[in-house]
């Protein structure tokens, strides 16, 4: 649980529900902003009057997936601008987006699954100018850690940060 606004507590489930609602809102807006849905070509005027499970077509699910993926890429690009902005001076917006998509693909091939892990991987790819993923030693470390590759990625960045801090204080 976390707090939000005037001392209210919002559960993780509520946050996920709100995120899904944000993702679905543009789809509903395409239908005039009214509460109706198109299910297999049939129009249902009022979703609230249709009791039961919400049914989405495979096309609608694909649009939701693409929207969520685009938002994830945007958050990773924003993270890279905040943490490694000096490395992005010569990169335009589309080049950065292409870099994030490529880094995600390479990260998933190694076994990364979370947005955080993929963002950290993209950061290391950016500052190493693409040599991090090419390193057999790095790939082996991420795959053979005691936890998931995402946990190993986080441990690696924490260790790197600690080492940098020690070097600065010497």
For the full predicted model, state whether its pTM sits above 0.85. no
Q: Please give the pLDDT value at position 133.
A: 87
Boundaries of every domain in the chain: 1-56, 69-170
8-37 burial: b if 16+ Cβ within 10 Å, else e: eeeeeeeeeeeeeeeebeeeeeeeeeeeeb
Total residues belonging to the chain: 170
DSSP for 105-120 reads HHHHHHT--SHHHHHH
Under 8 Å between Cβ of 116 and 154: yes
Predicted confidence pLDDT, tens digits, the chain (170 residues): 444 444 455 455 555 555 666 666 665 555 554 444 444 555 544 445 556 677 788 888 998 999 999 999 999 999 999 988 888 888 999 999 999 999 999 999 999 999 999 999 999 999 888 888 888 888 888 888 788 999 999 988 888 888 888 888 87
Rounded distance between C-alpha atoms, residue 29 and residue 114, angstroms: 29
Answer yes or no: are the C-beta atoms of 61 and 81 closer than 8 Å. no
**C-alpha torsion sign, points 10, 13, 15, 17:** negative
Q: Which among 58, 142, 144 is positioned nearest to 108, based on CA atoms? A: 142
């Amino acid at each position: 649980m976390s707090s939000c606004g005037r001392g209210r507590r919002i559960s993780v489930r509520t946050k996920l529900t709100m995120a899904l609602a944000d993702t679905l809102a543009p789809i509903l807006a395409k239908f005039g902003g009214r509460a109706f849905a198109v299910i297999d070509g049939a129009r249902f005027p009022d979703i609230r009057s249709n009791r039961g499970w919400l049914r989405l077509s495979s096309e609608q699910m694909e649009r939701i997936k693409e929207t969520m993926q685009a938002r994830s890429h945007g958050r990773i690009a924003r993270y890279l601008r905040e943490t490694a902005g000096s490395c992005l001076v010569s990169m335009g917006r589309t080049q950065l987006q292409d870099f994030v998509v490529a880094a995600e693909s390479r990260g998933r091939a190694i076994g990364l699954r979370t947005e955080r892990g993929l963002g950290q991987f993209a950061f290391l790819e950016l500052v190493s100018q693409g040599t991090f993923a090419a390193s057999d030693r790095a790939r082996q470390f991420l795959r053979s850690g005691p936890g998931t590759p995402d946990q190993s990625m986080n441990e690696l960045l924490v260790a790197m940060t600690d080492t940098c801090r020690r070097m600065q204080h010497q």
